[in-house]
Amino acid sequence: MNFKNMAAIVLAAGKGTRINAKEINKVMYPLAGKPMLWYTINLLKKVGFSKIIIVVGFLKESIINYFGRKDFIYAEQRKRLGTAHAVKTGLKKIPSGIKNVLVLHADDSAFYPVKVIRNMINQHLRKGNDLSFLTVEIKNPNIARVIRDKKGKVLGIVEQQNLKPGQEKFKEINCGCYCFKIEFLKKFLPQIKKNSLTKEYYLPLLIDLGIQNKAKVRAFKMNKSDYWHGINTRGELQRAEGVMRKNV
């Protein structure tokens, strides 16, 4: 299957502070003998992407030297100012004629099944969504929650510290994997405001921006929590290594 008029942006520029990456970028740490980024790239190829932009930054040579320049487009995020800024950097390298963009993180997408990503993209295209995003329900989330109404419609994303009484029952989180109409992305990406504490620009704010502006925003919940593994610490890397070894 080949998704025409589509491109993928892979976010792989982060410094990996909590994992204490020093010689290679965090996404080049191995899972069952291959860099975690390899699994993301392999996923995208199996899904049907031929246009893949990799946003690089910290220790970029470790990524470029491994994957080469023949099959990929690299966009360098010289100043790491958050995920929205990273996507803005990748967007500058998008080839002409692209109408929809898949965006995903290289440090949490190694376990996504091909069928899940294909289904989300197909639903996104079929329904003409402006923004589609992947979610998963986990037992004890300590990050932002996806809030829905009684009919299942997404109302927004609420940070852990801002949860209102009763919202603790929501266990669904945003995985950070998105499909965007490129017109939507170009229009609303510049509207994201800098976080006053971190001085960074965060991509999930597009969800609330889309809802506030009555865009077509839809969430697609995966039915297994094991499909998502955020890898930010050595402990999380070890757990993901164990899961990947069982899978392969």
User: pLDDT tens digits, residue range 38-65?
Assistant: 999 999 999 999 999 999 999 999 999 9
DSSP calls for 92-122: TTPPTT--EEEEEETTS-TT--HHHHHHHHH
Number of H helices, E strands in the chain: 7, 11
User: Half-sphere exposure of 195 toward its Cβ, with a 13 Å CA cutoff?
Assistant: 14
Q: Are 39 and 32 in contact (CB under 8 A)?
A: no
Q: Any idea which residue has 């989180």 for tokens?
A: 173
Q: Are 56 and 13 in contact (CB under 8 A)?
A: yes
Q: What confidence score (pLDDT) does residue 3 get?
A: 75
Residue of 223, 132, 215, 126 lying closest to 172 (CA atoms): 223
Q: Are 108 and 29 in contact (CB under 8 A)?
A: no
Q: What confidence score (pLDDT) does residue 2 get?
A: 62
Q: What confidence score (pLDDT) does residue 124 get?
A: 97
Q: What confidence score (pLDDT) does residue 1 get?
A: 59
Q: What confidence score (pLDDT) does residue 107 get?
A: 93
* Parent domain of 54: 6-131+176-247
What order do you get walking across the sheet with 217-221 strand by strand? 73-76, 52-56, 6-12, 100-105, 172-181, 131-137, 217-221
Going from the C-alpha of 141 to that of each of 146, 161, 178, the distances in angstroms are 11, 12, 20
pLDDT in tens, 108-148: 999 999 999 999 999 999 999 999 999 999 888 888 889 99
| CATH number of the domain within which 72 lies | 3.90.550.10
Domain assignment of residue 70, yes or no: yes
> How many domains does the structure of the chain reveal?
1
Domain assignment of residue 112, yes or no: yes
Domain assignment of residue 162, yes or no: no
Domain assignment of residue 163, yes or no: no
Identity (one letter) of the amino acid at 141?
A: P
Q: Residue 127's Cα: distance from chain center in Å?
A: 21
Q: What confidence score (pLDDT) does residue 86 get?
A: 97
Domain assignment of residue 103, yes or no: yes
Tell me the mean pLDDT per 10 residues along the chain, length 248: 85 88 92 96 96 96 95 95 96 95 96 96 96 93 86 87 83 94 97 92 95 96 91 90 88
Distance CA 118, CA 169 (A): 29
Domain assignment of residue 139, yes or no: no
Q: What confidence score (pLDDT) does residue 61 get?
A: 96
Q: What confidence score (pLDDT) does residue 164 get?
A: 84
Domain assignment of residue 123, yes or no: yes
Distance CA 66, CA 62 (A): 6
Q: Any idea which residue has 């946003």 for tokens?
A: 55
Domain assignment of residue 153, yes or no: no
